Each structure stands twice: as structure tokens, then as C-alpha cells.
Structure 1
Amino acid sequence: MGEQLELFDVTIIGGGPAGMYAAFYSGMRDMKTKLIEAKEDLGGRMLIYPEKMIWDVGGVPPQLCEKLIANLVQQAKTFDPTIVLGEAIIGLEPQEDGTYILVAKSGRRHWTRTIILALGRGILKMAKLEIEGAERYEVTNLHYTVQELEPFRGKHVLISGGGDSAVDWANELVQIAASVTVVHRRDVFGGHERNVKRMKESSAIIRTPYAVTQLQSSDKETIDKVTIRHLETDETEQIDVDAIIVNHGLKADFTGIKEWGLDMDEWNVFVSPRLATNLPGIFAAGDFASFDSKITLIAGAFTDAAVAVNSAKLHIDPVADRMAYVSSHNQRFKEKNKALGVIDEDDE
């Protein structure tokens, strides 16, 4: 190879819930692990909605997403994997011995026996509001994500969009804002049915099928009026606002990974029941993986991660156990339990 690289058993690309749990579970399998994330923080798509309440993770009480991220980061570091942040992987170089060299956009190279692609929806970028001059208000009261709810307390808020995030934000903000108006291009919302019903039964003002067509500012710094247009009748309406939140979806960038020869469509890679891609030694987990029984929940990402890690382990060592022993009987936790003050029955 012409350079001294450290060989890892598994390299996980992507630091969302699937990638973080894979880093933890690969430690349970006693694998030398590296986790590479393109952004400067772990969390993946969850970083978009840190103040959303997460209810659907088994055995975990409802908690803010930012707390769940912190817990997952802590868990991911349990067995001291190598974590590389701010590193976008673009190239793949198969080696004669069956290993791979991963090439980063920075030029840095990573050597690995197996790969787990936990890319989620790729490097996500918010779709911007396509109105000339809109970017000038991004430093004041035009928002593409909601990091904190409190700044919107007592404000007149307009939300443009109809997906999960738009509906969730409406349900949260209607409890503290002076008013919430939701503008969507279609009559049907894309959010979960229960959340859409909750929004429609709340005090939120729903305008469909409308689109935001003009932003007005009396001081040239903040938006104080928004013009919306009915997409069928061309009727227009002006709405006084203190803030506008835009959720027009996400654009995905998979960097150069789409050029690797993977069997995939625009958003997903197709995998076997063992989460194997069409390339030997390369597996997938989380939202990026597509298979018939797919469950697109955070809890589902954890299962994907464990299956992918087990498959990677068996790729390296075909006679290895098919899965790790559960933590209550796994020797990897013996010393860690002692550090927590837990006495193992075998030590009594």
C-alpha cells in the first residue's frame, strides 16, 4: 500500500443512532472498531430536532432528543472505538487480500476488513426557501430548523411545509406561541397520522394548498409580513409574522459512495436479510439499508446495527458465534460492572 495504515476489523461510516449502536455492539463482539462521521458531532439526523420528545425507544422513558443523543454517544464510547469526526468518505479501494481502503475527501485513508454503511439519508442539507433575497433574513427570523422552543414564546409563527418536522414543530409551538400558521402546498400532510390529527385539532391555523410567495420587511432586516398564494385559485393573503420556519424537506449528498458499485436507488442501498450489500464485506444499517421487513424507527436502527455487526464478524471469522452474548452474561462487561459497584454472582 506504500503507507503505514492501522487495520481495523470494522469501519462504520455514519454517526447517527445506527452507527453509534454499531460502535457499541462491535465492542461486545471484541472487534477493533472505527467510526467515521462527516459532521463535527455525532447524532445524525437527530441533530435536526434536539428539542423533540422521543417516545418510541423500547424501555426508555420519553425524553428530549438531545438527551437521547448524549446517552447514545456515551454508550458508543463504551469499548473505546476510534472516532473520527469531520471526515467525509468518498472513495473505496478494494485490496487483493479482501480488505478495503476508504479514501476521505481530505485525502486521509482508512484501512479496514469490513465496512458498515450507516449513512442515514446522507449528508443532509435543508432545502431553502426559493424566494429571491430570502437568505438575508436567515440571521434574524427566517429559520430552517428549531434548536430551541423558547425564542418563539408569545410570537406569531408561520411554518411552511407539511412533513414530519413541520407537523411536530407546529404541535410543540402551538403551546407557547401567540399563533401558529401552517402553510402547505398539498391538502394532505406527510407527518404521522396521530401527529397530524393532533395538529388539526389544536389552535394552529392551517392554510392548504398554499405556498409562500413573498417576504416583506419594514426595516430590511426582519420579516414582518408574508404573502401566501392559493395554488389553485391564485388568491393571495398577507399574514403578519414574528418568525417563519421553513421545512421543505432535505437534500441528500452521499458524496462519492454512489460510485462504488453498490446496488442502490436514490436514497437506499438494497441488502440481504443479514444486512449484506452486493459488495463482499460491506454491510448497511439504519435508514440507508432497504429490505422487505424494514422498520424506520430509531429502535429498528439498533436491530439493524447488531445484525450488521454480527454479519461483519462472521465475514472475518466464519466460525465465530452468530451473535454476542447478552450483556448480563457477557465477559466484556465483567470489569465494567465492578466499576459500577455491581458484584457478579461468580465473584461471591
Structure 2
Amino acid sequence: MKRDIYDVIIIGGGPAGMYAAFYSGMREMKTKIIEAKHELGGFMRTYPEKLVWDVGGIEPVRCESIIQSLITQAQTFDPTIVYGQEVIGMEKDDEGIFSLTANTGEIHYCKTIILATGRGITRIQKLTVEGADRYELNNLHYTVTNLNRFKDKRVLISGGGDSAVDWAIEIAQLAKEVYVVHRRDDFSAFESSVTRMKAVATALVPYTVARLHGNGNKIESVTVEHVESQETTSIEVDEVLVNHGFERHFGGAILEWGLASEEWGISVTPKMCTSMPGIFGAGDIVTNDGKIRLIAGAFNDAVLAVNSAKVYIDPTESKMAGVSSHNDRFADKNDELRKMNKSSH
């Protein structure tokens, strides 16, 4: 049976994977994305309402909007997209062709692989306070899907990272009061964000959530405890949001492939090459000395990974694609856009 061999298979459909699909299209590569879930977006799907400020060239925008724009862009050159499959096996034959086996039993063939599985399998770190689970269906939250829920409410947020601080800033615009409880004196979020947060919310440091007090399945007040003195304070609340981060198993079966790895991901060179020829990486799954863990950084990783994959297949190829303004791949698409613009006027 004839094998359908792709130039590149991208494992993972988050921001790195989607941009890699777009850029590989610019490089005229036959491309496939394999996404374990049934939608693209990756970890960004956990905070669709979050306002994202740090993507170059665009004004602050909801994460859901960025996801939709990335999906549209990823489909520009019609890559094959496979949903609901987790890659569990990899082999490379004598001709240098990789075969990837999915948990469904389907086998995918390619000349190169780009690992873009992001944070991999993640599990929310829940609040370790007795009885917390009974409030999860009411006013104890681990993510935000509707900001209006917090309108005119007293909101307590537990956490000290970017998510906790960013949500405090956004929720403060709607809420009656916002308290941010963090177990250390210093927050691990961006300094400018911490400054903005402290201007609109009450920061309690170093404190932890000690007890939840409720009526039925609804929290009515929270006891917080000072980490050093054990002094306690009671705060009346309407909503509680916990942002303690995620436990992650970043590689899944990929860790069994024998790739060099470190605590924070698969090791790559500055050109996104892993320790195995023909396999490259991009986004949160990879790490090196210059790694930037931003969405913008994922885009840069994707470009480097695709360029490395292209040259791996044919060392005589250019080391990068022509920019879009001078790239023949966009000629017909530019003509289509011009015609649409004329017809709309």
C-alpha cells in the first residue's frame, strides 16, 4: 500500500503548532497537524476571556480572538488537520521516513516532525483546603469563562503568578472589591502588571487561604493566615478564584523517544533542532538558554523549526522563506483580497 508521506507533521495545535502550519505553507511544504483534542488552540483554551497585551503589533485583545485568528491563519495553505489523536509511537525507517502511530491505531508518515505539544497534559493545582471541592459547582473557580459573573462582587483571588495578577486587574474593573492572596512577599508576574494590580486590588502577602466558610455549597467568607505569624483574618466574599498553576506532563509518550530533555522541556538548539535528526520543536515543550515563554516566542520558535525542517529535507533550500510582501505564495491571495476590497466599496 502506498504511503501518504508529508514533508512535516506538526504534533500539537496550540499557537506554536498553528503558526508552524502557516509558515510551512509559505515554504511550500506538505503539512499535517495532529491535535489530541477536538479543537485547535492548545493551552490558550483555558483562559479564553483573558485580555492578552504582549503579542506584537496588535492592541490588547481577548485570548479567544487570538485563537480564532491563528486558526484562520493556520488554514491559509490548507494543511491536513487531524483531531482527537494522541501520538503514542514513533519509528524511523532506513529511508529516513518517520511513522507516527496514534492511539487510534492510525499511522502517519512524514520526512520531518515538529513537536509543538505545549504544556502537554496539564492538571490544575487545586486548593488544598478541607471541603473546597464542594464549592466548585458554585462560587469556587479555577478558570474564568465569563467575566460578567464577577460584576459588583467581592472577589478573592489566590495566587501570585501572571494569571492571578492579570485576572485581578481585569476583574477589578467590574467587581466591588478584589483581594489577592499570595504566600510570598514577591509576585512572580511581570513587574508592570503587579504595579497595576496593587493599584486596583488589595494584596495580602505573605498569606495563604486557611479555611473556607460557607452556607450549603456557597462560600461566604475566607480565613487567610499569615505565613510567618499565623495571624488570621476573615474576609467576606462572593466569589473565589484560585490560580495556583498547573502540574504538567509535557511530553507524554514523546518522552520515551530518547530525546534529550531538561526539567522544563525537550532540549533544542537555537535553531530548534532536538537531539534526534529530523525532529524539531517549538513552543512551551522546548527549552534552551534563550527560550522566551510568550506567545510571541512560540511564533519565533515555529519559524526556526520550519526553516530547519525545510533545510533538513533539502540542504540546498533557502534558510528562510521570502517575506510575505515578496513571496509568490501570496500572489493569488493578494489578488483575491484586492478584488474583495473593490467589490465592498
Over aligned residues, Cα RMSD in angstroms?
Answer: 1.7
1:307 aligns with 2:300: no
Selected match of 1:258 from 255, 259, 274: 255
CA distance in 1, matches of 2:143, 2:35: 21
CA distance in 1, matches of 2:237, 2:211: 12
Contact 1:212–1:226, Cα closer than 8 Å, also in 2: yes
Give the secondary-structure state (helix, strand or coil) at the position aligned to 1:217.
strand
- Residue deviations 1:74-125, cap 9 Å, x none? 0000011111222222222222221212222333322211111112222222
- Kindly state the Cα deviation for residue 50 of structure 1 after the two structures are TM-superposed: 1.9
AA aligned to 1:15 is: G
Contact 2:262–2:287, Cα closer than 8 Å, also in 1: no
- What residue is the counterpart of 1:53 in the other structure? 51
TM-score, normalised to structure 2, is 0.93
- Please, which runs of 5 or more residues in structure 1 have no aligned partner? 344-348
* The 10-residue stretch of structure 1 (276-285 or 46-55) with the greater mean CA deviation from structure 2: 46-55
CA distance in 2, matches of 1:293, 1:258: 22
- What residue is the counterpart of 1:110 in the other structure? 108
CA distance in 1, matches of 2:178, 2:83: 37
1:141 aligns with 2:139: yes
Selected match of 1:236 from 232, 239, 242: 232
1:289 aligns with 2:286: yes
- Kindly state the Cα deviation for residue 5 of structure 1 after the two structures are TM-superposed: 4.6
Change beyond 3 A, Cα 1:248–1:30: same
AA aligned to 1:87 is: Q
1:221 aligns with 2:217: yes
1:96 aligns with 2:94: yes
AA aligned to 1:131 is: V
CA distance in 2, matches of 1:221, 1:295: 41
Contact 2:47–2:143, Cα closer than 8 Å, also in 1: yes
Change beyond 3 A, Cα 1:5–1:233: farther
- Residue deviations 1:162-183, cap 9 Å, x none? 1100000111111111111111
Give the secondary-structure state (helix, strand or coil) at the position aligned to 2:315.
coil
Please give the residue correspondences for 1:138-287 in structure 2 after superposition, counting only pairs within 5 Å: 138-202=136-200, 204-218=201-215, 220-253=216-249, 254-287=251-284
- What residue is the counterpart of 2:343 in the other structure? none
CA distance in 2, matches of 1:255, 1:333: 37
Contact 2:89–2:100, Cα closer than 8 Å, also in 1: yes
Change beyond 3 A, Cα 1:180–1:17: same
CA distance in 2, matches of 1:179, 1:38: 40
Give the secondary-structure state (helix, strand or coil) at the position aligned to 1:187.
coil
- Please, which runs of 5 or more residues in structure 2 have no aligned partner? 341-345
Contact 2:267–2:288, Cα closer than 8 Å, also in 1: yes
1:318 aligns with 2:315: yes
- Kindly state the Cα deviation for residue 58 of structure 1 after the two structures are TM-superposed: 2.4
1:7 aligns with 2:5: yes
- Residue deviations 1:171-212, cap 9 Å, x none? 11111111111111111111000001111122x122122211
* The 10-residue stretch of structure 1 (324-333 or 157-166) with the greater mean CA deviation from structure 2: 324-333
**Count of equivalent residues:** 339
Give the secondary-structure state (helix, strand or coil) at the position aligned to 2:269.
coil
- What residue is the counterpart of 1:346 in the other structure? none
1:62 aligns with 2:60: yes
AA aligned to 1:235 is: E
TM-score, normalised to structure 1, is 0.92
Selected match of 1:123 from 121, 124, 127: 121
Contact 2:264–2:286, Cα closer than 8 Å, also in 1: no
CA distance in 1, matches of 2:3, 2:158: 48
- Kindly state the Cα deviation for residue 342 of structure 1 after the two structures are TM-superposed: 5.7
